[in-house]
Amino acid sequence: MGRYTVNFRCHSCGHCCTDVICLPTPWDVIRMARETGKNPYRFLEFITPDDIDGVEKNDPTWLKVKNKRYMMALKRSAQGCHFLDKQTKRCTIYESRPLLCRLYPFKLEETRDGEFKGFSLHKDVGCPKNRDGVMDTEPLYEIYKEDAEHHEDYDALVAAFNGRDYPGKKPEDFIATFITIRQAKKKAAPATAV
């Protein structure tokens, strides 16, 4: 574990893009759609507890529809992530990728009081964790804080979605919840002088 640096270098093995399910926040989705022009309805899917391990039953981001639970994820095929170029094995939206992708395979370490202690490499992930490079932890910590901030909003959006019941409700309706909110905020913003 390192407070200032972590020994790691990505060797582009592709594990994170082929074997990991990415759970973006609504903020990630809005940013990805804005920066890439891609339609969220085409790059997102909604998975069930049978599709993913390691997410607690009481996680606040489970969407509830007709007594079933769903989680928003980047769409995947047998070859991996929707945004993985099948020929080059590279991310086609690398600069716009979700914060979770930017943090992988790092794990934040905190003291018992919740103070920042440093970063380590997740022990329970399939990344080979090559240690022949050095990563500064400051940018990782900034990404972590940004992701944590977005998760508070995410939890509130899920609670609002879960609190509504109507005929024909489906998990994909969640996308309209935050796309609509963002568009409303954009319309309400005062115009700036040029």
Q: What global pTM score does this model have?
A: 0.84
Angle at 125 between CA 106 and CA 148, to 5 degrees: 40
- Name residue 130's amino acid: N
* H-helix segments, the chain: 15-18, 26-36, 40-43, 99-103, 137-163, 173-188
Residue-wise pLDDT for 73-130, tens only, equals 999 999 999 999 989 889 999 999 999 899 899 988 888 888 888 888 888 788 888 8
d(CA 52, CA 88): 27
Residue-wise pLDDT for 39-77, tens only, equals 999 999 999 999 998 899 999 999 999 999 999 999 999
Structural domain boundaries of the chain?
5-165
